Amino acid sequence: MEHYLNTPLEKKDIMKLDVGDIVYLTGTVLTARDEAHKRILEMAEKGEKLPFDLDSAVIYHCGPLMKKNNDGWKVIAAGPTTSGRMSGMTPELLKRYNVRALIGKGGMNKVADSMKDKCIYLAYTGGCAALAVESIKKVSQVYWLDMGMPEAVWELEVENFGPLIVGIDAKGKDLYSEVSEHAREAFLNL
């Protein structure tokens, strides 16, 4: 099924999605890679307030290439980065914040249980950095530029961002695990 959703996402929005569904997003998306995840969790541990809101948020595992211009920032490329690098930090992130969706490539390891009834993982095809730019209408804000352009948190306004495939749904199904299991069984039966 295809779904067109607007951010911020509500629980009811993600609970109707199943593994394999196609999603297009319109609204605000925040980029965050390894260093941003670490800083978010460090600030949470210290009880410090984040400069952006993660309530019902969508996090895009992306280190975009930006160009400064008179109007602020222009997105040059914004393809997904490998989400597996954030797998270890995701359960704690979801425990502390009400993030509703993560976007990236390659799937995530052992996070389906921590995502149950809370969050979904949306897979975006690698190599589509230029395609992603077409759906990004505006850079609203940038946070933590001191970490460098790819590691900063970019607040993006998107329109029909996708196609995104539900790789892990909020019911605990993980498309990547299922495919790996089928492949392993097929290999063992050779």
The catalytic residues are: 37
Determine which helix (DSSP H) or strand (DSSP E) holds 31, and give its type and residue range.
strand 22-31
Q: How many CB atoms lie within 10 A of CB 120?
A: 27
CB contact set of 165 (below 8 Å; sequence gap of 6+): 20, 21, 22, 23, 122, 123, 175
Tell me how far apart the alpha carbons of residues 65 and 52 are, in angstroms, rounded to a whole number: 21
- 134 phi, psi to nearest 5 deg: -60, -30
Q: What is the dihedral of CA 165, 133, 61, 31, to 10 degrees?
A: -130
Q: Are 98 and 115 in contact (CB under 8 A)?
A: no
